């Protein structure tokens, strides 16, 4: 295996008494799509700020393209595209002006940037908005523009912090499609998300983070296989009855999680389990058999759900 | 994937890229900026030239104002104040916006551009705005026959130096104050306003009681006004005092921008 593009060892970041990131390790290989999955406050954004060679770390080592980002900030940043959680576009300028000015920050020639703008407007599906002030764009459009802006310098690594948070389902799917194209082109992607479907869609490999630490690492399918069963049966008996029947149901499956509104039963065969529940004369008001997801992995690892 | 980004070039010109971006943003407000930069001097020239000035000269002639017309006496101070106002506008607001509201500085800092370059770029663009404001003001002074064209053109660099001295310190303060946005309202009312009134603007500093004079001594406005008066008419400032004023203002520029650059860097690296 060739040398990783990003190598993180024992990375720790403290703000006064609060430890935001607590001794994490991971590598990202060239062309890989790597995810940091975890709830809000897990330390994902702090990690991303350090990877983007802007924020300092408290301890540990970080190497990006063989260089310490703290010592060679501008040099490392020249190879990164950064898409922050909050779109920090210049609202007073137009779509194309935003791209142009950003390209200039990389010292790129006017000629190169102008050519690049055409390509990026097409990629972001914003050709018709070229001369529109950014303030007037929808949330999804701003997001796509922020991603396009991050690509103006043809970066080796694109860092995306919560790329689809706050977008409606349609806008999210458009964005996923765009990111998938980048992945196909061989761009190395590092993204954070608290959406398990996003992690499953976009990541080749991911780490599950909680409270500043890494709980598990692997491919989405690998993690599901390791930490969950093949299927999940979700049953609801009504909020009071859920607790009453829980002990009896727990005997019938490999593992069970009791959530406020429903019970999650982990099993290899959901339909068969449901039949056994009926045979025991327990009748849930609703039931659903689904395959295990990263949400279940997170629940298993932390005892909590991703979105609380 | 190789665009051959030349980082050493960005190291040299990064601050200019930031300044160019700021000027681009300012250009979106050009109508309003022009209205302020032309309207403000016009109001003063009319009100003071026709109104207050006539009243002052009726009372004591020009004996208290070095033997020149009242409007000409206060013109260098008005010019320096307009430079200060312009630099304030273009440092305080963009800095709060850059760190807090739109977080533009974080976007800029995600490129090879450094925090130090962002600070310097914002400062340079503010100076450009001051040069433009003051030049318009000076042109109007000539048009209204308040000063004669000639050596008085030195009023422009002097006023910009005064605005730049104040602006450098304010740029640092704007980057330093992270929580209290109200600070700048208070600054306007309790620092800028008294500075405007007590810096020898409307009457010589020496006509104030001695215990009020230190306001003038520390105020960049007073130093710039004194220098400006020397440039505009025969004010009789000693060479020593010219040196003192220039040194004081230059020191503030260097001190302020040095502090601001490291504060920008520190705050962005959190």
Same structural domain, A198 and A140 = no
- Domain of residue B89 covers 7-268
Residue A308 belongs to some domain of the structure: no
Q: Most A CBs within 10 Å: which of B18, B97, B101, B107, as the mutation test of the A interface? A: B107
Q: State which of A237-251, B21-35, B54-68, B247-261 shows the largest mean pLDDT.
A: B247-261
Nearest to A74 among B3, B112, B270 (CB): B112
**A-B contacts at Cβ under 8 angstroms:** 99
Q: Which residue in this structure is represented by tokens 């220039």?
A: B246
pLDDT of res. B1:
42
Q: Tell me which residues of chain B, numbers 111 to 170, contact chain A at a CB-CB cutoff of 8 Å.
A: 111-114
pLDDT of res. B3:
57
pLDDT of res. B39:
87
Give how far Cα A208 sits from Cα of A15, A60, A265, B220, Å: 22, 19, 22, 56
CA A232 – CA A297 distance, rounded (Å): 12
Residue B2 belongs to some domain of the structure: no
pLDDT of res. A174:
87
pLDDT of res. A260:
83
Residue A223 belongs to some domain of the structure: no
pLDDT of res. A242:
82
B5 interaction partners in chain A (CB closer than 8 Å): 78-79, 106-108, 153
If one counts the domains in chain B, the total is 1
Q: How confident is the model at residue A206 (pLDDT cuts 50, 70, 90)?
A: very high
Nearest to A101 among B6, B10, B24 (CB): B24
Same structural domain, A18 and A142 = no
CB contact under 8 A, A154 and B11: no
Q: What is the pLDDT of residues B172-218, one digit of tens each?
A: 999 998 887 677 788 878 888 888 888 888 888 888 888 888 888 89
Residue A120 belongs to some domain of the structure: yes
Closest CA to A22 of A47, A5, A40: A47
Q: Is the pLDDT of residue B23 over 70?
A: yes
pLDDT of res. A7:
97
Q: What is the pLDDT of residues B1-10, one digit of tens each?
A: 445 788 999 9
pLDDT of res. A81:
96
CA A47 – CA A161 distance, rounded (Å): 10
CB contact under 8 A, A153 and B269: no
Q: What is the pLDDT of residues B144-161, one digit of tens each?
A: 888 989 889 999 999 999
Q: Is the pLDDT of residue B61 over 90?
A: no
**Of the given ranges (A148-162, A170-184, B98-112, B242-256), which has the lowest mean pLDDT?**
A170-184
If one counts the domains in chain A, the total is 3
The three state secondary structure string of chain A is CCCCCEEEEEEEEEECCEEEEEEEEEEECCCCEEEEECCCCCCHHHHHHHHCCCCCCCEEEEEECCECCCCCHHHHHCCEEEECCCCCCCCCCEHHHHHHHHHHHCCCCHHHHHHHHHHHHHHCCCHHHCCCEHHHCCHHHHHHHHHHHHCCCCCCEEEEECCCCCCCHHHHHHHHHHHHHHHHCCCEEEEEECCHHHHHHHCCEEEEEECCEEEEEECHHHHHHHHCCCEEEEEECCHHHHHHHHHHHHCCCCEEEECCCCEEEEECCHHHHHHHHHHCCCCCCEEEEEECCHHHHHHHHHCCCCCC
Residue B1 belongs to some domain of the structure: no
pLDDT over 70 percentage in chain B: 97
Q: What is the mean pLDDT of residues B36-52?
A: 84
Same structural domain, A191 and A292 = no
Same structural domain, A63 and A184 = yes
Q: What is the mean pLDDT of residues B15-27?
A: 95
pLDDT of res. A308:
58
Give, in degrees to the nearest 5, the angle at Cα A290 between A287 and A293. Answer: 130
CB contact under 8 A, A88 and B114: no
Other residues' Cβ atoms within 10 Å of the Cβ of residue B241: 14
pLDDT of res. A161:
94
Q: Is the pLDDT of residue B63 over 80?
A: no
Question: What integer best gives the mean pLDDT of chain B?
Answer: 90
Same structural domain, A113 and A257 = no
For A167-177, b/e burial (b = at least 16 CB within 10 A) is: beeebbebbbe
The three state secondary structure string of chain B is CCCCCCHHHHHHHHHHHHHHHHHHHHHCCHHHHHHHHHHHHHHHHHHHHHHHHHHHHHHHCCCCCCCCCHHHHHHHHHHHHHHHHHHHHHHHHHHHHHHHHCCHHHHHHCCCCCHHHHHHHHHHHHHHHHHHHHHHHHHHHHHCCCCCCCHHHHHHHHHHHHHHHHHHHHHHHHHHCCCCCCHHHHHHHHHHHHHHHHCCCCCCHHHCCHHHHHHHHHCHHHHHHHHHHHHHCCCCCCHHHHHHHHHHHHHHHHHHHHHHHHHHHHHHCC
- Residue B4 touches partner A, C-beta closer than 8 Å: no
Distance between first and last Cα of chain A: 39
Give, in degrees to the nearest 5, the angle at Cα A52 between A199 and B16. Answer: 140
CA A73 – CA A76 distance, rounded (Å): 5
Residue A88 belongs to some domain of the structure: no
Closest CA to B5 of A71, A108, A148, A158: A108
Q: What is the pLDDT of residues B100-120, one digit of tens each?
A: 988 999 999 999 999 999 999
pLDDT of res. A1:
55
pLDDT of res. B185:
80
- Residue B262 touches partner A, C-beta closer than 8 Å: no
Same structural domain, A163 and A48 = yes
**Which tops the pLDDT comparison, B269 or B191?**
B269
pLDDT of res. B195:
85
pLDDT of res. B233:
85
CA B123 – CA B242 distance, rounded (Å): 25
CB contact under 8 A, B7 and A74: yes
CB contact under 8 A, A105 and B9: no
**What CATH number is associated with residue A168?**
3.40.50.300
Same structural domain, A278 and A237 = yes
Question: What integer best gives the mean pLDDT of chain A?
Answer: 92
Q: What is the mean pLDDT of residues A83-98?
A: 94
Q: How confident is the model at residue A46 (pLDDT cuts 50, 70, 90)?
A: very high
Residue A84 belongs to some domain of the structure: no
- Domain of residue A106 covers 94-150
User: Last residue of some domain: A130, A150, A170?
Assistant: A150
């Amino acid at each position: 295996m060739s040398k990783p593009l990003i190598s993180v060892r024992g990375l720790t970041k403290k703000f006064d008494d609060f430890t935001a990131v607590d001794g994490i390790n991971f590598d990202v290989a060239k062309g890989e799509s790597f995810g940091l999955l975890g709830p809000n406050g897990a330390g994902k954004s702090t990690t991303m700020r350090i990877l983007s060679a802007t924020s300092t770390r408290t301890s540990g080592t970080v190497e990006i393209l063989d260089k310490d980002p703290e010592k060679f900030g501008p040099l490392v940043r020249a190879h990164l595209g950064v898409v922050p959680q909050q779109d920090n576009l210049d609202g007073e300028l137009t779509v194309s002006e935003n791209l142009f000015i950003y390209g200039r920050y990389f010292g790129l020639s006017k000629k190169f940037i102008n050519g690049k703008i055409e390509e990026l407007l097409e990629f972001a599906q914003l050709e018709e908005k070229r001369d529109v002030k950014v303030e007037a764009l929808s949330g999804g459009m701003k997001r796509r523009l922020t991603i396009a802006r991050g690509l103006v310098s043809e970066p080796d690594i694109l860092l995306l912090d919560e790329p689809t948070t706050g977008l409606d389902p349609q806008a999210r799917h458009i964005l996923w499609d765009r990111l998938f194209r980048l992945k196909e082109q061989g761009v190395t992607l590092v993204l954070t998300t608290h959406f398990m479907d996003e992690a499953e869609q976009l990541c080749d490999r991911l780490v599950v983070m909680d409270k500043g630490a890494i709980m598990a690492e692997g491919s989405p399918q690998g993690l599901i296989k390791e930490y969950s069963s093949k299927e999940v049966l979700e049953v609801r008996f009504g909020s009071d009855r859920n607790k009453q029947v829980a002990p009896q149901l727990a005997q019938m499956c490999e593992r069970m999680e009791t959530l406020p509104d429903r019970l999650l039963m982990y099993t290899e065969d959901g339909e068969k389990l449901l039949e056994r529940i009926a045979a025991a004369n327990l009748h849930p008001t609703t039931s659903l058999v689904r395959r295990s997801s990263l949400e279940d992995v997170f629940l298993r690892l932390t005892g909590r759900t991703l979105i609380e | 994937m190789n665009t051959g980004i030349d980082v050493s070039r960005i190291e040299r010109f990064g601050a200019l890229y930031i300044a160019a971006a700021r000027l681009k943003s300012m250009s979106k407000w050009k109508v309003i900026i022009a209205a302020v930069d032309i309207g403000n001097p016009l109001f003063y020239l009319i009100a003071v030239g026709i109104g207050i000035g006539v009243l002052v000269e009726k009372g004591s002639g020009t004996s208290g104002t070095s033997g020149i017309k009242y409007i000409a006496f206060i013109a260098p101070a008005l010019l320096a104040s307009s430079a200060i106002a312009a630099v304030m506008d273009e440092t305080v607001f963009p800095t709060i916006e850059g760190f807090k509201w739109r977080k533009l500085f974080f976007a800029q800092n995600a490129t090879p551009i450094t925090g130090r370059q962002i600070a310097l770029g914002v400062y340079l663009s503010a100076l450009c705005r001051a040069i433009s404001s003051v030049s318009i003001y000076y042109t109007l002074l000539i048009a209204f026959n308040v000063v004669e064209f000639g050596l008085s053109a030195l009023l422009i660099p002097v006023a910009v130096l005064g605005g730049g001295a104040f602006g450098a310190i304010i740029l640092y303060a704007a980057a330093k104050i992270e929580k209290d946005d109200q600070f700048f309202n208070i600054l306007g009312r309790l620092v800028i306003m008294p500075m405007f009134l007590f810096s020898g603007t409307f009457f010589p500093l020496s006509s104030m009681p001695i215990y009020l004079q230190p306001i003038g001594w520390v105020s960049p406005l007073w130093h710039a006004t004194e220098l400006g008066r020397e440039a505009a008419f025969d004010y009789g400032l000693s060479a020593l005092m010219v040196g003192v004023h220039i040194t004081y203002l230059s020191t503030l520029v260097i001190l302020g921008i040095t502090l601001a650059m490291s504060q920008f860097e520190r705050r962005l690296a959190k």
